[in-house]
């Protein structure tokens, strides 16, 4: 006898709750912007840097980080790159479609604790900006709670830039320093060209007062961390967000394990001191 | 949305993979809810030149095959190679171990040199045209065929295993053929068949081709442990592995 | 808790009566090996088996199980709520199950596993014949000191039957009128246990299991990982036969209407090439040696760090299942014990 109703106390950690797609807008060739709301009406209740598991019935489930700040109420935003089956299906969905959400899962950028009162340096490569945007929005929403706000963004080409309009707002913001580079320029681009690490020496940081937040492609971490250490930013002031293969999001399936660490539970946001000795992590 | 028009073609093969589709029996009606067959020799008398998906079985062994395959490819949005002959040349590639003159003389005797019996070394479809999807096996697993069809209807890339047959043996609780000192190609062969051969007490013939990164070197090295020689291994690899490159 | 002593006829009668009441999966002959399978009559039960081809964990975390169903009403949980008995589980396999209990219950509990587990009655049976590769004696898992619902121990032609939980006692209700074990029987059982601790050592581990985590801690760059893994087929056999491997994959398939379908979880293994591959194409453990090492670290260190239990129970299945003969944990650990070379 197979039953559909839980026979035991407790909720099914694998059961998604229904959510509605409110808005889809293409951003680049690969990425699109999405707005969702939970059908129950409750807020997602995430903190910047956390992720959810998104389900498309018939297609499957994929971990996606939340891109809007929890200060935005009533809905949440994501930027999703077309990479696998689930994300491809999401790109084809129409507003009004119902899908499944589990989460939020994992650790968050410490916007509510150690970042408070400090200068914050956000370093984002490519779609690494997606989860960090949530933290940037949060910090700007509570601007008085933080010291200087510095944002360093690297993108492959000008055509791959995400949140271009929002970046313009940040650039014009009197209390924000924004530095941007592209790996390969084109005729539309008048800004800096080259890898993101070349921008870091241009940021004047006060090391003991600075908290650095990093998110980007796997290759980026090593180089950025070396640069930060050169700049004398203390190890315990560096936070990194990792990507790994994830299935369950709740520390069971084993896929995201890096040595003794489960990225889905112990991460995705890690303090550098917790992973610097961990082989395979960076 | 209109159902995609599907045409099924065959080249050098036993047509057993088409038969596997027919063997879906009552589920064929379900298949028809997703596709509209417009050409299918084993199940349909119609023929058509306009279709969205071409499903092609068999391997390419004659100059005129090559030409026909290019014609089939041209109008197709998606071309699917069906079964081992199409995906990797299959058993037909045994021929490539011999000179073509030798082959013709062996099969046709004194008539072997007649022009219409011209034959080329066997090629898989992707050695001639672009192949979008491979459905592996000799014959194909029709459960997998059905799954792939549903994936295509959903616009989803089907999950074709890239791990060895051993995984499926273990899931079924099948005792490894090597425990009986028998060479089995399971450890280098792509799963997805649900390991019917080892489960019936036979070694894996390798009909689904290699996994992406087969450790053939390791297979050579372990022969000694089982009291076997390289020649023993080679003789097993001959059937489906003649000139086979790792498949994808 | 009660300890009864019953003869072979009583045992058979008891098992047959259980078969009439609920599903019973018992150790049986399968060709020249043994396997747990639905038991149709007590006479087929082979409590003298050496090792079951597949670890009985398969009845708690099946190779393929439906987690969810979806359709017009969205996603719904699917839970298996039918009671069953696992009859004749060896102590080392029981230890494996107890470890899985921890993993699935901790943090955010997994109600799919736990629901099925709650339906299971675990009848453990002390080993009567050692399999060719067992080394449970070295891993302190030859005897199950506590846990399980019932423990059977063969004493000459009879069996001692110990109720170890309320569920076990309930199963033993039919044995209420049978005689209690006497002091001499319990003495004999102790001897069986001591004997098994020595018998189940077909491979001799030169270090104590509790020393493995510290030893692994200094062995990350040991040459053994590269050497052994050269021959690895990445076939996952060592994972899939392991009583403590529980990693899983999740997939989804639809019916022909494309609207209704199921989300299923299947066994997975960290030795498989694509285990740590992400959708963008980056593989976080691309090399065989990395995957090979990961497996030993997970068994001997990572899970120990979390639960203070070594996740190797010494069943020896991986040794037999590995075609390339590189999966003998005792060989690897003994090699590490010799120090870096």
Nearest CA in chain B to C318: B170
pLDDT average, residue stretch C2-21: 96
Nearest CA in chain B to C230: B218
Question: Which two structure tokens, joined as six digits, stand for B229?
Answer: 């020689």
Q: For residues C81 and A4, is the Cβ–Cβ distance under 8 A?
A: no
Chains that touch B (3 or more CB pairs under 8 A): A, C
How far is the alpha carbon of B69 from chain C, nearest alpha carbon, in Å?
Answer: 30
| Helix, strand counts (H, E) of chain B | 10, 5
* pLDDT for residue B46: 81
With an 8 Å Cβ cutoff, are B154 and A89 in contact? yes
CB of C254 within 8 Å of a chain B CB? The answer is: yes
* pLDDT for residue C282: 82
**Residue C272, φ and ψ in degrees, nearest 5:** -75, 140
Q: Give the nearest partner residue to B150 out of C233, C254, C272, using CB atoms.
A: C254
Band (pLDDT 50/70/90 cuts) for residue B1 is: low
Residue A16's alpha-carbon distances to B110, B195, C227, C263, C271, in angstroms, are 71, 33, 44, 11, 29
Separation between Cα atoms, residue A258 and residue C285, nearest integer Å? 9
Separation between Cα atoms, residue A63 and residue A55, nearest integer Å? 9
Question: Which two structure tokens, joined as six digits, stand for C222?
Answer: 């040991």
Sequence-distant (≥ 6) Cβ neighbours of residue A19 within 8 angstroms: A36, A37, A38, A39, A98, A99, A100, A101
Which helix (H) or strand (E) segment holds residue A98: the answer is strand A98-105
> What count of CB pairs under 8 Å joins A to C?
141
Which helix (H) or strand (E) segment holds residue B134: the answer is strand B133-135
Name the CATH topology of A17-105. Answer: Elongation Factor Tu (Ef-tu); domain 3 (2.40.30)
Eight-class DSSP state of B247:
P
pLDDT average, residue stretch C20-48: 97
Beta-strand relationship, A149-155 and A76-81: unpaired
Q: Which domain holds residue C15?
A: 3-199
Enumerate the residues of chain B whose CB falls inside 8 A of the CB of residue C234: 163-164, 211, 213, 215
Q: Is residue C204 part of a domain?
A: no
* pLDDT for residue A119: 96
Separation between Cα atoms, residue B246 and residue B240, nearest integer Å? 12
Question: Which two structure tokens, joined as six digits, stand for B69?
Answer: 């395959």
Instruction: Residue window 112-141, chain A: list those with CB within 8 Å of chain C.
Output: none
- Please indicate, yes or no, whether residues C186 and C62 belong to a single structural domain of this protein: yes
Name the CATH topology of B5-154. Answer: Rossmann fold (3.40.50)
How far is the alpha carbon of A79 from chain B, nearest alpha carbon, in Å?
Answer: 20
With an 8 Å Cβ cutoff, are B186 and C235 in contact? yes
Of the candidates C199, C220, C246, which is a domain's last residue?
A: C199
Q: Give the nearest partner residue to A250 out of C68, C75, C108, using CB atoms.
A: C108
All structural domains of chain B with their residue ranges: 5-154, 166-241
Question: Which two structure tokens, joined as six digits, stand for C134?
Answer: 């067992």
With an 8 Å Cβ cutoff, are A58 and B156 in contact? yes
Band (pLDDT 50/70/90 cuts) for residue C215 is: very high
pLDDT in tens, A41-56: 999 999 999 999 999 9
pLDDT average, residue stretch C40-63: 97
pLDDT in tens, C173-202: 999 999 999 999 999 999 999 999 999 999
Instruction: Residue window 220-249, chain C: list those with CB within 8 Å of chain A.
Output: 220, 246-249
Is residue B243's pLDDT more than 70? Answer: no
Name the CATH topology of A119-241. Answer: Rossmann fold (3.40.50)
* pLDDT for residue A6: 40
Band (pLDDT 50/70/90 cuts) for residue B244 is: low
Q: Exposed/middle/buried for B230, CB within 10 Å: 0-12, 13-18, 19+?
A: exposed
Is residue B238's pLDDT more than 70? Answer: yes
Band (pLDDT 50/70/90 cuts) for residue C341 is: low
Enumerate the residues of chain B whose CB falls inside 8 A of the CB of residue C237: 166-167, 169-170, 176
Q: Which residue positions in chain A have pLDDT lower than 70?
A: 1-9, 280, 282
C-alpha of C15 from chain center? 22
Share of chain C above pLDDT 70, in %: 100
Q: Is A100 helix (H, G, I), strand (E, B) or coil?
A: strand
Best probe of the A interface among B154, B159, B160, by most A CBs < 10 A, is B154
Band (pLDDT 50/70/90 cuts) for residue C304 is: confident
With an 8 Å Cβ cutoff, are C285 and A18 in contact? no
Enumerate the residues of chain B whose CB falls inside 8 A of the CB of residue A88: 155-157
- Please indicate, yes or no, whether residues C155 and C299 belong to a single structural domain of this protein: no
Going across the sheet that includes C248-254, the strands are C74-77, C64-71, C261-267, C248-254
- Please indicate, yes or no, whether residues C50 and C145 belong to a single structural domain of this protein: yes
pLDDT average, residue stretch C60-89: 95
pLDDT average, residue stretch C126-153: 97
CB of A40 within 8 Å of a chain C CB? The answer is: no
Residue A90's alpha-carbon distances to A162, B65, B122, in angstroms, are 18, 41, 42
Whose tokens are 């007490």? That residue is B201
Mean pLDDT, rounded, of chain B: 92
pLDDT average, residue stretch C23-49: 97
* pLDDT for residue A276: 87
* pLDDT for residue A7: 42
Which carries the bigger pLDDT value, residue B239 or residue B81?
B81
Of the candidates C163, C179, C199, which is a domain's last residue?
A: C199
Question: Which two structure tokens, joined as six digits, stand for C172?
Answer: 């033993």
Enumerate the residues of chain B whose CB falls inside 8 A of the CB of residue A84: 157
Instruction: Residue window 148-177, chain B: list those with CB within 8 Å of chain A.
Output: 154-157
What's the structural domain count of chain C? 2
* pLDDT for residue C69: 96
Task: Supply the ipTM of this predicted assembly.
Answer: 0.95
With an 8 Å Cβ cutoff, are C256 and B175 in contact? no
Which carries the bigger pLDDT value, residue C273 or residue B47?
C273
Best probe of the A interface among B155, B156, B158, B162, by most A CBs < 10 A, is B156
Best probe of the B interface among C132, C247, C256, C271, by most B CBs < 10 A, is C256
Enumerate the CATH 2.40.30.10 domain ranges in chain A, comma separated.
17-105
Of the candidates C176, C199, C222, which is a domain's last residue?
A: C199
With an 8 Å Cβ cutoff, are B170 and C231 in contact? no
CB of A175 within 8 Å of a chain B CB? The answer is: no
């Amino acid at each position: 006898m197979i039953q559909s109703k839980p026979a035991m106390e407790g909720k099914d950690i694998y059961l998604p709750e229904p959510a509605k797609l409110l808005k889809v807008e293409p951003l680049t060739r690969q990425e699109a912007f999405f707005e969702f709301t939970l059908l129950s009406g409750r807020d997602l209740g995430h903190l910047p840097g956390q992720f959810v598991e998104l389900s498309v019935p018939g297609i499957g489930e994929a971990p996606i980080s939340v891109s809007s700040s929890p200060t935005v109420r009533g809905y949440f935003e994501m930027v999703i790159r077309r990479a696998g089956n689930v994300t491809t299906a999401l790109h084809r969905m129409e507003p009004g479609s119902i899908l499944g959400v589990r989460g939020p899962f994992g650790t968050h950028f410490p916007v509510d604790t150690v970042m408070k009162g400090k200068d914050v340096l956000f370093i984002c490569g490519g779609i690494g900006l997606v989860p960090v945007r949530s933290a940037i929005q949060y910090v700007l929403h509570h601007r008085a709670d933080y010291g200087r706000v510095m944002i360093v963004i690297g993108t492959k080409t000008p055509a791959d830039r995400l949140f271009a309009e929002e970046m313009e707002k940040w650039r014009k913001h009197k209390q924000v320093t924004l530095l941007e580079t592209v790996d390969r320029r084109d005729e539309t681009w008048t800004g800096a060209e080259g890898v993101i690490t070349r921008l870091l020496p241009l940021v004047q940081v006060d090391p003991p007062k600075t908290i650095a937040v990093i998110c980007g492609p796997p290759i980026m971490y090593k180089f950025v961390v070396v640069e930060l250490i050169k700049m004398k930013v203390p190890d315990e002031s560096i936070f990194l967000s990792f990507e790994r293969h994830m299935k369950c999001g709740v520390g069971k399936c084993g896929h995201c394990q890096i040595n003794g660490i489960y990225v889905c539970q112990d991460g995705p946001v890690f303090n550098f001191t917790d992973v610097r000795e961990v082989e395979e992590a960076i | 949305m209109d159902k995609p028009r599907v045409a099924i073609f065959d080249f050098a093969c036993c047509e057993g993979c088409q038969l596997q589709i027919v063997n879906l029996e009552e589920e064929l009606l379900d298949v028809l809810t997703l596709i509209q067959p417009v050409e299918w020799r084993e199940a349909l008398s119609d023929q058509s030149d306009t279709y969205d998906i071409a499903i092609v079985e068999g391997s390419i062994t004659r100059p005129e095959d090559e030409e026909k395959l290019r014609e089939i490819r041209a109008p197709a949005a998606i071309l699917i190679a069906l079964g081992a002959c199409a995906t990797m040349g299959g058993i037909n590639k045994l021929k490539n171990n011999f000179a073509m003159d030798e082959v013709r003389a062996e099969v046709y005797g004194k008539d072997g040199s007649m022009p219409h019996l011209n034959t080329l070394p066997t090629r898989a479809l992707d050695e001639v045209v672009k192949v979008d999807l491979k459905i592996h096996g000799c014959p194909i697993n029709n459960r997998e065929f059905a799954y792939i069809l549903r994936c295509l209807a959903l616009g989803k890339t089907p999950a074709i295993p890239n791990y060895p047959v051993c995984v499926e043996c273990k899931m079924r609780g099948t005792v490894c053929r090597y425990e009986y000192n028998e060479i089995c190609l399971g450890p280098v062969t792509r799963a997805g068949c649900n390991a019917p051969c080892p489960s019936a007490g036979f070694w894996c013939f390798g009909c689904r081709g290699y996994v992406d990164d087969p450790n053939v070197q390791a297979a050579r090295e372990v022969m000694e442990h089982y009291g076997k020689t390289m020649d023993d291994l080679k003789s097993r690899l001959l059937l489906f592995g003649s000139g086979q490159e790792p498949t994808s | 808790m009660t300890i009864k002593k019953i003869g072979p006829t009583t045992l058979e009668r008891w098992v047959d009566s259980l078969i009439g009441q609920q599903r019973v999966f018992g150790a049986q002959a399968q060709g020249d090996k043994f396997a747990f399978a639905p038991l149709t009559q007590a006479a087929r039960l082979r409590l003298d088996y050496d090792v079951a081809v597949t670890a009985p964990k398969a009845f708690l975390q099946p190779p393929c199980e439906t987690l969810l169903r979806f359709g017009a009403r969205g996603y719904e949980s699917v839970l298996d709520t039918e009671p069953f008995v696992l009859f004749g589980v060896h102590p080392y396999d029981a230890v494996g199950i107890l470890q899985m209990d921890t993993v699935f219950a901790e943090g955010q509990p997994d109600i799919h596993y736990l629901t099925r587990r709650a339906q299971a009655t675990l009848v453990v049976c002390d080993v009567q014949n050692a399999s060719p590769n067992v080394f449970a004696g070295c891993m302190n898992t030859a005897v199950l000191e506590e846990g399980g619902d019932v423990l059977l121990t063969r004493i000459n032609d009879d069996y001692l039957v110990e109720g170890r939980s309320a569920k076990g006692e309930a199963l033993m209700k039919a044995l209420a009128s049978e005689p209690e074990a006497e002091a001499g029987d319990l003495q004999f059982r102790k001897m069986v246990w001591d004997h098994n601790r020595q018998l189940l050592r077909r491979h001799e581990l030169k270090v104590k299991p509790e020393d493995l985590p510290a030893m692994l801690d200094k062995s990350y760059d040991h040459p053994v990982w590269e050497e052994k893994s050269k021959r690895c087929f990445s076939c996952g056999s060592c994972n899939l036969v392991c009583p403590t491997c529980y990693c899983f994959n999740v997939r989804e398939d639809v019916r022909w209407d494309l609207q209704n379908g199921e989300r299923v979880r299947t066994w997975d293994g960290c030795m498989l090439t694509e285990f740590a591959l992400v959708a963008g194409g980056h593989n976080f453990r691309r090399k065989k040696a990395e995957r090979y090492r990961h497996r030993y670290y997970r068994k001997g260190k990572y899970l120990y760090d979390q639960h203070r239990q070594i996740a190797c129970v010494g069943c020896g299945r991986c040794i037999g299942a590995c075609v390339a003969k590189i999966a003998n944990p005792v060989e690897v650990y003994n090699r590490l014990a010799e120090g870096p070379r």
